[in-house]
Amino acid sequence: MLLCEVASRLEAEELVRPEDPEVEVPSAVAADLLSDILASRKEQFIILTGLISPQVIRTAEVVGALAVVLVRGKHPTQEMIGLARAHGIPLYTTMLPLFESCVRLAPLVQRVRA
């Protein structure tokens, strides 16, 4: 799936624009624990989370996440937006809860695997 497809599937608002909206997103990690994201063995993924803190962006930077999507209508602080800009990490927010977001993305991920 492409990053721009993810955004439109999730009806997400774009807060930090991706350099390449057409970047291929092979998978996603959905977690409300940064520890889980840091321990994930996946390599190319976007992060879906309900957590709001600069650590979300720092974690995304460390694992090289392709983008961060904040769920449940969570809005980041300006600090987070600034951090994401500085590190070139695309940032989105969606009104959908975490589970619903995963359900919407599942068909796209399966299409990649098929």
Number of chain residues interacting with other proteins (CB under 8 A): 36
String of contacts with other proteins for each residue 34-73, x by CB under 8 A:
xxx-xx-x-x-----x-xxxxxx-xx-xxxx--------x
**70 and 90 in contact (C-beta within 8 Å)?**
no
Q: Which two tokens mark 79?
A: 């600090």
Select 27 or 53, whichever has its Cβ closest to other proteins: 53
Q: How crowded is residue 42: how many other Cβ atoms within 10 Å of its Cβ? A: 12
3-state secondary structure of 50: coil
Cα–chain-centroid distance for residue 93?
9
DSSP state of 12: P
| Least spacing, CB of residue 15 vs other proteins, in Å | 8
User: Binder to other proteins among 81, 98, 102, 108 (CB under 8 A)?
Assistant: 81
Instruction: List residues binding other proteins (CB under 8 A).
Output: 32-36, 38-39, 41, 43, 49, 51-56, 58-59, 61-64, 73-83, 85-87
